[in-house]
Structure 1
Amino acid sequence: MDAAVAMRKEAAPASGLKQVFQNAQRAFDLIKKHRTPPDPKTYAIWYAYVEAADPRVIERVDSAIAEHGTLTPFDISSIFRELLTEEPAVVSARHSIGMAIEKEIDEVMKIIQQGVQNSDEFGASLDKANSALPGAASAEHLASLVSTLMEDNHRMARTARELNQGLTDSQNQIAKLNQELEEVQTQCRRDPLTSVANRRAFDERLEREIRAAAETGENLCLAMADIDHFKSVNDTYGHQVGDAVLQQFASVVTQNIKGQDMVARYGGEEFAIILPETDLFSAYNLLVKIKYTFKNTETPVEGTLKSIKDVTASFGLVRFEPGMTPRDMIERADHYLYEAKNSGRDRVKAKGF
């Protein structure tokens, strides 16, 4: 029986190792099949894809393959950055803040232990005085006992004030560190160029909003937006101007949505807008306003006195219906976005509109 158990224990790692090799081979096969660069980032993506531990990776890869037939350099970079790793600065900041919080918690524990020790010492002093009082031989002896008690009491009060101040200081420091940690967490969910939410934050938020809408029956709309002829903007004016156009669009959307709404950079020149508690008609009118405002906004050309205008965007809009998954909503909104593109661009498309 013991031998059988030992054999199973040895077989488990071997089986796991075999699976690793199989996943690795499948990852290399997919690199070859889709002609993606055989570099570490691409391998990491394909390995995560075949391992199937994170459904977001599968969804992103499938979506990119369906759209482009392969993983473009941008797809590889964005998937790896958003789903498989974090910026070194973010990791370093989180580690530093975590270490500082741990240090402050250690200080709090020391203060608490010191308080317990002082309380025990004062208790022992009271017990000793209580035992000695009945046998006090003279007024001088009694006065000495009272004086000792008063000194211990003053020392205890002084120590208690110092410990309370130490606790207050540590609590304030921990609160400050927690705030810094929240800021770091926020940064890792923001697109560095446009300062709006990134794909990771969008995925998490859409899932929550769909779950809430399914439970409450509240309205929920999702829009996918794409800047028209963006490649032409980059080719004509350069990538710096293209970046400025992306920032301009993100700013226009941010200024027109409500606090509960979210705009995220979905990838490249494509953005996603989550509109909770918003019916289809209101969402459609909002997107028309955003579309019009963006079209009439001028973007300066850096290093010149010129600016470009009449850059437009197209929008696909969908309303949540019971049973829909995040992928369903995205695909439906993308469908209407493609309709808007095929109908001449610079327009909003939705069911019934």
Structure 2
Amino acid sequence: MSKDNFALSTGYLKKVVPLLMKHQVPATPTNYALWYTYVADSDTDLSWHINESIQATGTLSETQCEQLYQSHFADKKVKEADDFQQSLQALALEMGNTMEDTLKDTDTFQNTLDKTFSQLSRVGEETLSMDETIAVVRSAVKGSNQIRQSTSFFKNQLADAQREIARLKETLAQANEEALHDALTGIFNRRAFDSELGALANSPPPKGFSLLLCDLDHFKNFNDTYGHLMGDQVLKLTAKRLSDYCREGIQAFRYGGEEFALLVPNRQLKGACRVAETIRASIDKLVIKDKKTSKKLDNITVSIGVAQFDKGDSIRSMIARADAQLYEAKNLGRNRVMPIP
């Protein structure tokens, strides 16, 4: 490295550290790489996204940093990791099912052998002497015992393998929980929501922010009528529609089950309610069809409760107000925003 390049890199690093401190971003290697690239202005698209977020919210949260790093630096590695995890999950499921079937077959085989040799031990051959008959029976019984021991050992081995597979599934499930994206819909999950809401509450944007809690109406009935696979498609379509409104710092999350949440920076109650009403109307226009029959299914609607973050507010109280407004929307007939925009 030349002296000029070294001096330039040192200058960039001196700018990165104050930015990390200003926006309360942890000094991790990935965040260094992200902000170093921003300071160096070597990725115009990345710089645009960071500037847009800072303009909308006044900061760049840890969740947003990770998302930008994945999209600009780690796309290929992340995709490979996701593909590997999916393959591993499929393998674990397939092996688990195979082990169960094999254990059942082994039990059946052992029972058949026991029954066969039990019958054989009672068979007498007129052409054989008593001593010869006894020798045949003893040999058969001995063989049966050996097979029983062999199958018993095999069953133990399979049981050990099953326990290992169960442990692997648990590890994968935990890894999914620790991820920031929902596995089904692809949008941010509850863990990311908690982190992002905490960051906004600790350092609110200049004009404050609001929370939208959205719940699909009569979703249980829809699942019972059309099945969970179709229900999953509805959740994906809803998440996609919510993602379409993730502009100017707005972020969408799967809050749990059929419930979603949106964080809307620089919008107080009235402005956030207008955003919520636009989203409600958009989801109401969704057309759901059964791909197998091309039959149009029941319309999907959503109820939305809105709350703004007030001075002296806590995360718990803000969520409680939004949840109360959501409950009121449900109580008044669903497919509406509360409070009324």
Q: Which has the higher contact order (CA 8 A, sep 6+)?
A: 2
Q: Normalization by structure 2: what TM-score?
A: 0.48
Q: Normalization by structure 1: what TM-score?
A: 0.46
